[in-house]
Structure 1
């Protein structure tokens, strides 16, 4: 019997592709998608003279595509999305593979420019996105009589739309989003007028919006451009949010007109994404239940925020409702259920836009929980959702994976940010960048997803309402008397030395805005059994570290500043300020702090496998058997964490004490860098390196 079809879709396979597969000369289909395979592609696969279908997406392949693949002239489908390849897109794909019908090169790791595509007469579906490399002009496209889907998203394309776009009369879906395309869109109807879906989001098109677009009944998205027209944000199936210049250079997009803001501008905003209105911890989360399909802009009922969604699930045309509601999900606790049983989903890009905010500094918390996948051994557990998060146009999270960050399915994860609002508006955008699984557990679940949004001014104190009918003068008298009594008591306590340490802490903390929760000493004592010695898991530069369990079951690691420590309050405060501003999958998360009496405590996430040092060099009963792929992943994770500290974070931080004891491992052996307490802030305008002793 001749072997013609090998399909190993979604089997969690690791390691290399065996070159011996090339010996199966009768093979016509090789499907290895959605695994964890790595390494370079064997050049021997170029000997598969009968291969028609090769699906390699969603793995960890690296290196360049072998030149021997030029011989694969029988290929009709080739998919290499979501990998780590290097080098340019090979010319031989478009010159030699003349039977090609479907080509997917989304977030493959390859670089542009895209070669001319002029000889693939059988091509029906072309998807290229998220290319590395420099800016490039639009590739030549011609002689493509069967092409129906053309996706060239985030390919660094610049310049005007070429005239030959009008020759693509068979194309029904055209996505040129998030490039640098400019100039005017042709104002006379052409083949573009026959499109079912058109996405030109995130470019620099200028001039008037053509009438044939304004009058369309199909789904089209021109958001985030520079047109000169003053239009409504939504017209039938046309999304025009932020498609024109802003009003008087203010933050408000022109399609909203001049919004009627309240006399007192907003200092907080809470949104339950995809869900009804909920009251949580005294805050009212506004409802966000409207259905959103492709190319949609929606203004909230309060008129203080809006959402813009773009894109479609290409392989799931029946999906036109991007709201998820799973009230019976069992993984969520009672405390979490209100905000996390619903979520809003988008195939490509989802923007939450808030306006009427008072200028100043805000704490922004994004609530996530993965509720579409399962946490068992079924097929539904194999999905990977990966996307990027931008706030005020700056990418704050890259390759964010809710399940990995939260440590499982149905587990909430909160990402906190400090945001400066200078024009009354705040822009939060989630974007799928071509990574993650698109085929399993089902098509149409791979886009960005969010459960809730919290925006609040940390300095804002809500006014106390006078509900009892007491006159204003009486209230003033009561407040004045209480204030005098408070000062009198504090003066007595200060004279007796009771408040001096506390005041020192307050003075040290002044001016630092923390993105963390505040814990009471009673909570921490209960969690650690009053710092019982049996809960001690290490000794850090600040003193002992204890394992604890909070009342809600969350496991924590508590770092306690010892009385004999030479590090004072300033260093402690520095560590809080720095860690609270640094958020990355390969950095240890800071849950909060406790400053009470003479106790200075940091509360971190608890990592099950302790430090890399213990795994490698600790007592034999604690050592872990780490195979080479695991060690490699640990190395890469550490490198990514350091790259974030050195180059990607708003604060340029030099750790200066990287060693195995300062790298912790979670339950999946993912590395997380710890101990930033003595890191040196490397301000961009400083060119010197401090010689102050810090670390080893």
Structure 2
């Protein structure tokens, strides 16, 4: 892959969905140099899209041009660590205008560095899903002021989660599935309290999160999708979940949840898809859920009854009045 170096006024480059191979370096980004005022020719920032190719090798930190607003290198064969942006002459990190960074579906290793987050104060979309990233998340990730979409799913990340909504109130999508994050679900939702009116999608499935679902879940009034399957949650499903009118998908399968299903679940949102299999729920299936397929409740939940499951047994009075 090569790009004509004389295209110094280029502001949009889309070579995605091809069969380009080779490595990615500064020569592929014919953007103005980092000198002061050099980006005046691209006031809205340049965009480089190289996704769905066969690019290999490490990513050079020099690709983070001071004029770049969007960089999409997803769905390639890139490896190595995510590089920090180049430092300024005084060794302090550069503050770059990048707002969209997609490095998903590669073979990247290492951790997510503090410098990576701190260098992009305008970052609103970060997708590094489906890689081989490991380690814990830097606390600075919680302070990204413009972040609205964060996808860290399908990696090898671990440890407790920082307060991901601490620095802003705009986070709409938080995808953390298929990692090894630990800690309590209650702590995670408490840390997201500033985002109760903005969070639309939360996926924490296939981790090691434990404890009960807190009653505070009902405060996330904008929530459309909650996927928390395959964790270590216990306790009952809070009744307040039924008040989430925007909710379209609720997957709590394969945990250790017990007790009755909230009677009004799905009453306020008839199109809600519910998946509760693999738990220890008991009692009668609420009428609003009676049209769901058997697979939404089985396997698991041996003490659950009522349509679409076998009918609940009614106790018969004993002869003789006892």
Q: Normalising by structure 2, report the TM-score.
A: 0.66
1:162 to 238, 241, 247: 238
Q: What residue number does 2:255 align with?
A: 179
Map Cα deviations across residues 332-361 of structure 1 (whole Å, 9 max, x no partner).
xxxxxxxxxxxxxxxxxxxxxxxxxxxxxx
Separation (CA, whole Å) in 2 of partners of 1:163 and 1:119: 22
Q: Is the 8 A contact 1:119 1:143 kept in 2?
A: no
Q: What residue number does 1:130 align with?
A: 206
CA RMSD of aligned residues (A): 2.6
**Secondary structure of the structure 2 residue equivalent to 1:96:** coil
Map Cα deviations across residues 446-499 of structure 1 (whole Å, 9 max, x no partner).
xxxxxxxxxxxxxxxxxxxxxxxxxxxxxxxxxxxxxxxxxxxxxxxxxxxxxx
**Secondary structure of the structure 2 residue equivalent to 1:198:** strand
Q: What residue number does 1:74 align with?
A: 146
The answer to whether the aligner puts 1:96 opposite 2:167 as a matched pair is yes
Q: Is the 8 A contact 1:226 1:244 kept in 2?
A: no
Q: What residue number does 1:3 align with?
A: 68
Separation (CA, whole Å) in 2 of partners of 1:82 and 1:88: 16
Q: Is the 8 A contact 2:150 2:174 kept in 1?
A: yes
Q: Is the 8 A contact 1:5 1:28 kept in 2?
A: yes
Map Cα deviations across residues 20-55 of structure 1 (whole Å, 9 max, x no partner).
166361100110000001011121022210000000
Decide whether aligned partners of structure 1 residues 23 and 222 sit closer, same or farther in structure 2, where only a CA change above 3 A counts.
same
The answer to whether the aligner puts 1:197 opposite 2:273 as a matched pair is yes
Separation (CA, whole Å) in 2 of partners of 1:193 and 1:221: 17
**Secondary structure of the structure 2 residue equivalent to 1:23:** coil
Higher helix share: 1
Decide whether aligned partners of structure 1 residues 218 and 207 sit closer, same or farther in structure 2, where only a CA change above 3 A counts.
closer
Q: What residue number does 1:56 align with?
A: 128
The alignment of Structure 1 onto Structure 2 pairs a total of residues equal to 234
Separation (CA, whole Å) in 2 of partners of 1:154 and 1:146: 24
Q: What residue number does 2:96 align with?
A: 25
Q: Is the 8 A contact 1:193 1:212 kept in 2?
A: no
Q: What residue number does 1:408 align with?
A: none
Decide whether aligned partners of structure 1 residues 79 and 219 sit closer, same or farther in structure 2, where only a CA change above 3 A counts.
farther
Q: Is the 8 A contact 1:49 1:72 kept in 2?
A: yes
Separation (CA, whole Å) in 1 of partners of 2:295 and 2:166: 32
Separation (CA, whole Å) in 1 of partners of 2:296 and 2:83: 45
Q: What residue number does 2:62 align with?
A: none
Deviation, 1:190, is: 5.6
Separation (CA, whole Å) in 2 of partners of 1:165 and 1:38: 38
Deviation, 1:150, is: 1.1
**Secondary structure of the structure 2 residue equivalent to 1:111:** strand
Decide whether aligned partners of structure 1 residues 167 and 118 sit closer, same or farther in structure 2, where only a CA change above 3 A counts.
farther
Q: What residue number does 1:119 align with?
A: 194
Decide whether aligned partners of structure 1 residues 244 and 75 sit closer, same or farther in structure 2, where only a CA change above 3 A counts.
farther
Separation (CA, whole Å) in 2 of partners of 1:192 and 1:181: 22
Q: How does 1:606-645 map to 2 (within 5 A)?
A: none
Q: Is the 8 A contact 2:83 2:116 kept in 1?
A: no
**Secondary structure of the structure 2 residue equivalent to 1:87:** strand
Deviation, 1:217, is: 6.4
**Secondary structure of the structure 1 residue equivalent to 2:228:** strand
Gap regions ≥5 residues in structure 1: 246-696
Decide whether aligned partners of structure 1 residues 23 and 12 sit closer, same or farther in structure 2, where only a CA change above 3 A counts.
farther
Q: What residue number does 2:227 align with?
A: 151
Map Cα deviations across residues 408-454 of structure 1 (whole Å, 9 max, x no partner).
xxxxxxxxxxxxxxxxxxxxxxxxxxxxxxxxxxxxxxxxxxxxxxx
**Secondary structure of the structure 2 residue equivalent to 1:154:** coil
Gap regions ≥5 residues in structure 2: 1-41, 43-66, 87-92, 314-322
Deviation, 1:56, is: 0.6
Separation (CA, whole Å) in 2 of partners of 1:189 and 1:125: 18
Decide whether aligned partners of structure 1 residues 193 and 124 sit closer, same or farther in structure 2, where only a CA change above 3 A counts.
closer
Deviation, 1:125, is: 1.2
Decide whether aligned partners of structure 1 residues 158 and 50 sit closer, same or farther in structure 2, where only a CA change above 3 A counts.
same
Which of the two has higher C-alpha Rg?
A: 1
Deviation, 1:225, is: 0.9
Decide whether aligned partners of structure 1 residues 43 and 228 sit closer, same or farther in structure 2, where only a CA change above 3 A counts.
closer
Deviation, 1:8, is: 0.4
Deviation, 1:244, is: 9.2
The answer to whether the aligner puts 1:107 opposite 2:182 as a matched pair is no
Deviation, 1:219, is: 9.4
Separation (CA, whole Å) in 2 of partners of 1:228 and 1:37: 44
Q: What residue number does 1:321 align with?
A: none
Separation (CA, whole Å) in 1 of partners of 2:121 and 2:267: 38
Q: What residue number does 1:12 align with?
A: 77
Decide whether aligned partners of structure 1 residues 35 and 102 sit closer, same or farther in structure 2, where only a CA change above 3 A counts.
same
Deviation, 1:189, is: 5.9
Deviation, 1:171, is: 0.3
Deviation, 1:194, is: 2.5
Map Cα deviations across residues 341-385 of structure 1 (whole Å, 9 max, x no partner).
xxxxxxxxxxxxxxxxxxxxxxxxxxxxxxxxxxxxxxxxxxxxx
